[in-house]
Amino acid sequence: MAEKFDAVDIIRSKRDREVLSEDQINWIIDAYTRGIVGDEQMAALNMAIFLNGMNREEIVTWTKAMIATGETMSFEKLSKKTTDKHSTGGVGDKITLPLGPLVASYGIAVPQLSGRGLGHTGGTLDKLEAIPGWSPDMSNERMFEILEETGAVVAAAGSGLAPADKKIYALRDITSTVDCIPLIASSIMSKKIAEGTASLVLDVKVGSGAFMKDLEQARELAQTMVDLGTDAGVNTRALLTDMSVPLGLTIGNALEARESVEVLAGGGPADVRELTCALAREMLDMAGVHDADVEEALNDGRAMDCWNQMIRAQGGDPNAKLPTATHTHEILAEQDGYITNLDALALGVGSWRLGAGRARKEDPVQAGAGIEIHTPIGTKVTKGQKLLTLHTDTPERFERAIESITPGISIGEQAPAKRQIILDQIS
């Protein structure tokens, strides 16, 4: 049977800044998934979209077409309301770990389908897999059981959700078309809409360690995703948050898991705690729990109880000792002054080079590798004071990690202005 369209014609249309029709988009996504459209043709179309953009109708249609290539989930049979969070990725971003149990402690179900890290940004599954025995792999039936029992689950996103996106993303990664707002928005939201949660909070990162370096670009991305969610019937909001410096005082899988437990115990770094609580309030508000005292839920142990239940339900031991690296190296202050910058990208790449991340999705990661930050932004230091501790199982990695990290550390004569974590909100 003859195909309805020709890929070359569609590529030419977008190359020439024309608006693609609903039928054209539906066909090319389906045909690419079926193998009728080649990788080189979809790569060319991605570049045309990168250069010329899409309007709102095109992005909505593109997202729906990707959803239609796979299965969708529904949580309507759960006895609890559902809500979810998605972060666009950053350095030291361990927020998912304490956030799910915190929200679940209020009787809300939090089904979080997460992924592994690639490049300088860490993956939620990598962090949780540092806990002995813990596994993200489960059937949909088991996921529902855990949600009923504990309220929170972190699972690996199945290949059946928006499979077209997986193929397209792989092309974008090798053709320099990742940081394209229509393609980022449709990639994220196709999976989140297919997941079937009733409400969604987006944590859109801004700064050197994020996809979006500029606040206005981040605001456009956030608005696009909120519109996509709203059009699909998912109650969606977004927070724009700072990713110019790492979140918290640790970067790396086991290190971040440990810090997350500190937050659940009522402590932890102030910025991690602030963002966890801000996102929890938004998620709970959309699920019908208004004016919740989420700080109290961290302090009184309710959130920790949910964490322990969630980890055990997924085969992990919440009391087990977390892995540690076999080698460490300290970076010391070269002068007196105040820490004025710890560049998120520089430290993220450094942690990746230590073994905490992967260059390809098939690469293994070291659970104990990463960076401890002893002097956050604004700290007054003296020459020779310990600033960072680097961790790895392979000491030959130190040299290249240090090459990345050192230019990202700035010490000045005056303390910097207080960092603002939450930059804007879109609903």
Give the relative orientation of helices 56-68 and 22-34 as an angle to the nearest 10 degrees.
30
- 191 catalytic, yes or no? yes
- Cα–Cα distance measured from residue 46 to residue 44, given in angstroms and rounded to the nearest whole number: 5
User: Which residue among the candidates 13, 105, 114, 187 is catalytic per the annotation?
Assistant: 187
At residue 36, the 3 state secondary structure works out as: coil
User: Which residue among the candidates 94, 116, 172, 391 is catalytic per the annotation?
Assistant: 172
- 12 catalytic, yes or no? no
User: Which residue among the candidates 81, 86, 273, 281 is catalytic per the annotation?
Assistant: 86
Residue 81 · residue 287 · CB < 8 Å: yes
- Cα–Cα distance measured from residue 180 to residue 373, given in angstroms and rounded to the nearest whole number: 32
Q: CA dihedral defined by 274, 276, 281, 284, rounded to 10 degrees?
A: -170
User: Which residue among the candidates 165, 242, 285, 343 is catalytic per the annotation?
Assistant: 165
381, two tokens: 């230091």
- Cα–Cα distance measured from residue 10 to residue 25, given in angstroms and rounded to the nearest whole number: 9
- 187 catalytic, yes or no? yes
- Cα–Cα distance measured from residue 22 to residue 55, given in angstroms and rounded to the nearest whole number: 12
Nearest CA to 274 among 242, 250, 235? 242
Return the H-helix or E-strand segment holding 75: none
Q: What is the DSSP string of 137-175?
A: ---HHHHHHHHHHTSEEEEEPPTTSSHHHHHHHHHHHHT
- Cα–Cα distance measured from residue 372 to residue 251, given in angstroms and rounded to the nearest whole number: 7
Q: What is the DSSP string of 323-354?
A: P--SEEEEEE-SSSEEEEEE-HHHHHHHHIII
- Cα–Cα distance measured from residue 286 to residue 104, given in angstroms and rounded to the nearest whole number: 14
What are the residues whose beta carbons fall under 8 Å from the beta carbon of 18, sequence distance 6 or more? none
Residue 408 · residue 343 · CB < 8 Å: yes
> What residues are annotated to the active site?
86, 165, 172, 187, 191
